[in-house]
Amino acid sequence: MNRRDIAKALTGAATLIALTSCKQRSTPPTAPPTFSASHFQSRLEALRLAYEAKQEHVSATLQPGLAEAALRERCAWFPSRLPDEIVALYGWHDGQPSSPGVEQYPFLFRDCGFTSIRNAENEYKMIMSSYGTQPRLHDLLKHSFPFAAFDAGWLVLTCNERFPGSPYEHSVISVFQNVMLMFYSMDSMVETCIGWVNNTGVLAGLPFIGKSLEDEILERFNPGILALQSHDSL
């Protein structure tokens, strides 16, 4: 059983911090804020520092960022124009060279590791040769960029088609067993991940956060998303 499977199994067994459950769900935002690359990159830095504070030394293998022109040239294989969020992400750092199962300290967005541009094309091909063969998913996934991956699971950013129920043009979706809205935006993903990392403890020698706390943080930065996740997976 790998690290992620053990951590998921433990999630149902205990709760790190006791919280009142989110019985009253919020509703999705109606007017998403304008994306700011500089703000987004500052929050990615905050996430990096949160990992370092937990003795997860992710900085050692984060690769230097890419200039926009170089990034677009190296992503000529992708059929849509890269949105500002992807340009800002890879302008900050070009992921890590290896998969989370190989990296000693993987830079995770939840349980998927920040993939390099070099590996992104192969991840894209894997998605399209599996989930992308389904007619109802083909067009959505064809125009979704894979920026994080682990064990045949991916986080991708929609680039050309709004995911059902999301108020954002570019949303983060999870491709693992099904296709589900994971975060409303790259901004809300990073804020959620900072909250998760800051509140992660250790159980049986593994990173652990209780399910109630995990959901509370997810809902805090993505109001109403839990209800959408329960009804709108593809």
pLDDT at 179: 95
63 neighbors 116 (Cβ within 8 angstroms)? yes
Average pLDDT of the segment spanning 135-159 = 96
Residue 93 lies in a domain: yes
Q: Residue 15 — pLDDT band, cuts 50, 70, 90? A: very low
In the chain, the DSSP E strands lie at: 108-109, 112-114, 144-150, 153-158, 172-176, 178-183, 201-203, 206-208
Residue 30 lies in a domain: no
Residue 214 lies in a domain: yes
Residue 23 lies in a domain: no
Q: What's the pLDDT tens digit per position in 47-57?
A: 999 999 999 99
Q: How far apart are CA 194 and CA 229, in angstroms?
A: 21
Q: Residue 13 — pLDDT band, cuts 50, 70, 90? A: very low
Whether 4 shows a pLDDT value over 60: the answer reads: no
Q: Is the sign of the CA dihedral 131, 183, 207, 89 positive or negative?
A: positive
pLDDT at 208: 82
In 24-171, the DSSP E strands lie at: 108-109, 112-114, 144-150, 153-158
Whether 68 shows a pLDDT value over 60: the answer reads: yes
Residue 104 neighbours by CB distance under 10 Å: 10
Instruction: Indicate the SS3 state at residue 147.
Output: strand
Largest CA distance in the chain: 49
Residue 108 lies in a domain: yes
CATH code for the domain of 40 = 3.40.1580.10
- Tell me the percentage of the chain whose pLDDT exceeds 90: 71
Q: What's the pLDDT tens digit per position in 162-217?
A: 898 888 999 999 999 999 999 999 999 999 999 999 998 866 666 788 899 999 99
Q: How far apart are CA 57 and CA 54, in angstroms?
A: 8
211 neighbors 15 (Cβ within 8 angstroms)? yes
Q: What's the pLDDT tens digit per position in 115-131?
A: 999 999 999 999 999 99
Q: How far apart are CA 209 and CA 214, in angstroms?
A: 6
Q: At 91, which amino acid appears?
A: G
pLDDT at 27: 77
Average pLDDT of the segment spanning 18-39 = 68
pTM: 0.86
53 neighbors 47 (Cβ within 8 angstroms)? no
Whether 17 shows a pLDDT value over 60: the answer reads: no
Q: Residue 233 — pLDDT band, cuts 50, 70, 90? A: low
Whether 8 shows a pLDDT value over 50: the answer reads: no
Mean pLDDT over the full length of the chain? 87
Domain that holds residue 74: 36-231
Average pLDDT of the segment spanning 102-127 = 96
